[in-house]
Structure 1
Amino acid sequence: MKKLLSFLLAFGPGIFAIGYTIGTGSVTSMIVAGNSFGMGLLWVLFFSCLFSGVLIYVSGSYYLATGETALFAVRRHLPWGKFLAIAIIVAVGIGQWNSLIGILGITSNVVYEILALNFPGLQGSKYWVVLGLAILIIGIFYLLLLKGKYSIFEKVLALFVSLMGLSFVFTLLFVFPQPAEVVAGLIPKIPDVPGAGILIAAFVGTTMAAATFLSRPLFIQGKGWTQADFRTQRNDSIIAGLLIFTISGAIMAVASGSLYGSGTEINNVLDMSGALEPSVGKFAVSVFFAGTLSAGLSSIFPCLMIVPLMLGDYSAGKLDVNSARFKVITGVASVVALSVPVFGFNPVQGQIFTQVFNVFALPLVIASLLYLWNRKGAGLPAGRWLTNGVMAAAFIFSLIISWNGLADIFG
Structure 2
Amino acid sequence: MNNKTKSSFMQRAAKGLALLLPGIFLLGFNIGTGSVTAMAKAGAEYGMSLLWTIVASCLCTFFMINLYSRYTLVTGETALEAFRKHIHPAVGIFFLTALTFGVAGSVMGVMGIVADICYEWSKALVEGGISPIYFAIFFVSLVYFIFWNGKTQFFERSLAVIVAVMSACFLLNFFIMMPPPIDILKGFVPSIPVVSDGESKAPFLIIASMIGTTVFSGLFIIRTTLVKEAGWTMADYKTQRFDACFSVSLMFIISASIMAAAAGTLYVEGISLSKASQMIVILEPLAGALATAIFAFGLIAAGVSSQFPNILMLPWLICDYTGAKRDMTLPKYRIMVFIISLLGLVVPIFEARPVFVMIISQAFNAIILPITVACIFYLTNRSDLMKQHINSKIGNVILSGIFIFSLFTSFFALKSVLQLISV
TM-score by length of 2: 0.89
Do structure 1's residue 396 and structure 2's residue 409 form an aligned pair? no
**Per-residue CA distance 1:292-336 (angstroms, 9 max, x = gap):** 011001000111011111111111175453333322221221122
1:199-218 residue pairs with structure 2 within 5 A? Answer: 199-218=206-225
Match in the other structure for 2:175: 173
Farther off after superposition, 28-37 or 251-260: 251-260
Equivalence for 1:240: 247
Paired residue for 1:407, among 401, 412, 415? 415
Take 1:236 and 1:275, find their aligned partners in 2: how far apart are those partners? 37
* Paired amino acid for 1:348: V
- Asked if 1:22 is matched to 2:31, the reply is yes
Amino acid at match of 1:204: I
Equivalence map 1:267-306=2 (5 Å): 267-273=274-280, 277=284, 281-306=288-313
The question of 1:66 aligning with 2:75 is answered yes
1:49 aligns with 2:58: yes
**Shift of residue 383, structure 1, vs aligned partner:** 6.2
- How far apart are 1:158 and its partner, in Å? 0.5
Q: Note if contact 2:52-2:189 (Cα within 8 Å) is conserved in structure 1.
A: yes
1:338 deviates by: 1.8
Counterpart code for 1:30 = M
Cα separation, partners in 2 of 1:225 and 1:343, compared to 1, 3 Å: same
Q: Per-residue deviation at 1:355?
A: 2.1
Following the alignment from structure 2 to structure 1, what is the Cα–Cα distance between the partners of residues 184 and 63? 23
Structure 2 residue 162 is the aligned partner of structure 1 residue 160: yes
Q: Which amino acid aligns with 1:291?
A: G
| Structure 1 position 38 matched with structure 2 position 47 | yes
Conserved? CA contact 1:209–1:359, under 8 Å: yes
Distance in 2, matches of 1:404 and 1:166, equals: 34
Q: Structure 1 residue 57: deviation in Å?
A: 1.2
Distance change in 2, residues 1:163/1:4 (3 Å): farther
SS at structure 1 position matched to 2:80: helix
Tell me, in whole angstroms, the C-alpha distance in 2 between the residues paired with 1:87 and 1:225. 27
User: How do residues 7-406 of structure 1 correspond to structure 2 at under 5 angstroms?
Assistant: 7-78=16-87, 81-120=88-127, 122-123=128-129, 129-193=131-195, 194-273=201-280, 277=284, 281-316=288-323, 318-377=325-384, 378-379=386-387, 381=389, 384-406=392-414
Aligned length: 403
Contact 1:9 1:154 survives alignment (8 Å): no
Structure 1 residues 8 and 49, CA gap change in structure 2 (3 angstroms): farther
Q: Kindly tell me: are residues 4 and 389 of structure 1, through their superposed partners in 2, closer, same or farther at Cα, counting changes over 3 Å?
A: farther
Are the structure 2 counterparts of residues 218 and 265 from structure 1 closer, same or farther at C-alpha, using a change threshold of 3 Å? Answer: same
Q: For 1:94 and 1:58, how far apart are their aligned partners in 2? A: 25
Moved more, 67-76 or 55-64: 55-64
Q: CA deviation at 1:286?
A: 0.9
Contact 2:109 2:354 in 1 (8 A): yes
1:275 to 1:402, Cα distance in 2 relative to 1, 3 A? farther
Shift of 1:111: 2.3
One-letter amino acid of the structure 2 residue matched with residue 70 of structure 1: A
**Is this contact kept in 2: 1:25–1:103, CA < 8 A?**
yes
Secondary structure of residue in 1 paired with 2:48: coil
Conservation of the 8 A alpha-carbon contact between 1:8 and 1:15: no
CA distance in 1, matches of 2:218, 2:246: 18
Superposed displacement of residue 261, structure 1: 3.6
Amino acid in the other structure paired with 2:182? A
Q: Which has the larger radius of gyration?
A: 2
- Cα distance, 1:277 vs structure 2: 4.5
Letter in 2 for 1:273: I
Residue aligned with 1:117, SS: coil
Q: Quick one: structure 1 residues 380 and 37, their matched pair in 2 at CA, closer, same or farther if it must change by over 3 Å?
A: farther
Superposition deviation, residue 137 in structure 1: 1.3
Q: After alignment, is 237-246 or 173-182 more displaced?
A: 173-182
Report how far residue 4 of structure 1 moved. 8.8
1-side partners of 2:179 and 2:138: how far apart?
Answer: 39
Equivalent residues of 2:266, 2:272 under 8 A apart: no
- Segment of structure 1 superposing worse, 105-114 or 211-220: 105-114
Unaligned stretches of 5+ residues in structure 2:
1-9, 196-200
Match of 2:6 in 1: none
Identity of aligned residues (%): 34
| Cα distance in 2, alignment partners of residues 350 and 156 from structure 1 | 27
The answer to whether the Cα contact below 8 Å between 2:120 and 2:281 also exists between their aligned partners in 1 is no
Deviation at 1:372, TM superposition (A): 1.4
Report the TM-score when normalising by structure 1: 0.91
Partner Cα separation in structure 1 for residue 377 and residue 263 of structure 2: 36
Equivalent-residue separation in structure 1 for 2:66 and 2:250 (angstroms): 15
Does structure 2 conserve the Cα–Cα contact (< 8 Å) formed by 1:105 and 1:340?
yes
CA distance in 2, matches of 1:91, 1:233: 27
